[in-house]
Amino acid sequence: MCASCFLAFRRPPTCAPFPANEAPLPWPDGQASGGTLRWTGVAGFRFDLDGTSLAFDPFVSRPGLLRVLLRRPRTDARAVADRFADLDAVFVGHTHYDHALDLPAVAAASPRAKVYGSLTTVELARRLGVDDARLGAVRDGVRVEVGPFAVTAVASAHGHVPVAGRLDRVGLRGAGVPRTPFRYPRGAVFAWRIEAEGRSFHLQGSAGLDDRALARQRPVDVLVPCLAARHGTPRYLERLGAALRPDLLIPCHHDHFFRSLTAPPRPVPGLDWPAFLEDAHRLETRWGTRLHLLPFDRPVTW
């Protein structure tokens, strides 16, 4: 995030969506936890702290459009192992392929990690060969403690995806695994509250909201909202901001995920970055929330 954006008091920031900035998270009190955080594109994150490692929606294989529509699901085991080895736990917000495709490779690269998600995510992971003992189904309010981290499932909803949303499948069909990435079912959708070292994050991996679950949330230090497909959710960031009153705002799921992870990131179609900057500015005015952008696929200190 460019410093000039922060300094442009009461004007919407003007920064680009994918800066090379690798600065630590700018906490208001300046106290870093010593942990690291890596945004691996889409809604994928890796948190490391004191020898414990978590991943959320780990997805780096990023097949192109034709492969998504027509080919069998295939993971890039090397890309996965480079980023998601030695995890202690994996949390999956919903079962669409851009959140769950890499699960078998992640489970192989992190043999001690448990995988948490909806009943659909758990069943898909089971069908993909992940051992039952490593699977944990969650529902709204379930809290999982892993080393210094506490992760709580928050019932949520999916953003409205024009056209493709009409073909969306909610549950798994038949007995096997989906024949193409496009056929991965959605399942129930969760956001996550992550707490460690006195800091808290709300990871909103899809741009729908469950108002009842959101109303039960306490304020959070960092709001991490998915920006893709948010336009069908009225006042999306305003509602998240009012419920969570975050100090920091870190967007995710705004990169075009048909592109390889090694290619320079581009905005997801329909992003409307200027509208997001306006929304971010409103959160700053209302709640003092500071916009901070993470570098693409690089760890930063938090």
Binding residues (CB under 5 A) for Zn ion: these are 96, 98
DSSP label of 57: S
CA distances to 6, 7, 8, 35 from 11, rounded to whole Å, are 9, 9, 6, 32
- How remote is the C-alpha of 212 from its chain's centroid? 21
Q: Which is nearer to Zn ion, 33 or 204 (CB)?
A: 204
Residue least distant from Zn ion (Cβ): 96
**Cβ of residue 272: shortest distance to Zn ion, in angstroms?**
17
The minimum distance between CB 176 and Zn ion, in angstroms, equals 21
Nearer Cβ to Zn ion (33/61): 61
What's the Cα-to-Cα distance from 299 to each of 37, 45, 46, 84, rounded to whole Å? 5, 10, 8, 12
- Taking CA atoms, 164 is separated from 21, 71, 158, 174, in Å, by 34, 17, 13, 21
Question: Which of 46, 96 has the CB closer to Zn ion?
Answer: 96
Q: C-beta of 88: minimal distance to Zn ion in Å? A: 24
DSSP structural state of residue 275: H
> Between 98 and 247, whose beta carbon lies closer to Zn ion?
98
- d(CA 205, CA 121) in angstroms, rounded, equals 15
User: Between residues 59 and 302, which has the closer beta carbon with respect to Zn ion?
Assistant: 59
In the complex, the smallest distance separating the C-beta of residue 99 from Zn ion, rounded to whole angstroms, is 5
